[in-house]
Amino acid sequence: MELEHRIKDLAEIIKYAQQYKDNRSYHIGYKKAKNPDAYFRRYESQLILYGGTRSVLKQTGINLKGLNVDKLKAEYQELMKQKNLNQHLGKNMPTTQDIKNRQQSL
């Protein structure tokens, strides 16, 4: 279950990281805007999403300066491969109970 938990957490981090990345340009534009109030009204949703995702990522200990969504996605893919491998091996490996049942039927 540890692997399942890590996959779920990483999927959530990737979602937030992608939203952070997608909306970061609005934050930069806001900081440079000659009329910040008008800019905020125009891009309020994007700025709020940016702020929220930034906060969540910081709380999870993600380094925002080195944030690499592609690297996170690659890690996620590796975990999914491991999960699939574990499931495959688990289905094909006889359990102790399977072995006992076969022995009893002989």
Calpha distance 59→61 (Å, rounded): 5
**What is the rounded distance in angstroms from the CA atom of residue 39 to the CA atom of residue 27?**
10
Percentage of the chain with pLDDT > 70? 84
- Of 67, 40, 61, the C-alpha closest to 51 is 40
pLDDT beyond 80 at 72? yes
- Using CA atoms, how far residue 50 sits from 5, 23, 95, in Å, is 26, 5, 49
Domain membership of residue 10 as a residue range: 2-105
Q: Kindly report, residue by residue over 15-44, the tens digit of the pLDDT.
A: 999 999 999 999 999 999 999 999 999 999
Overall number of domains in the chain:
1
* Residue pointed to by tokens 């102790």: 96
Nearest to 80 by CA among 3, 20, 2, 1: 3
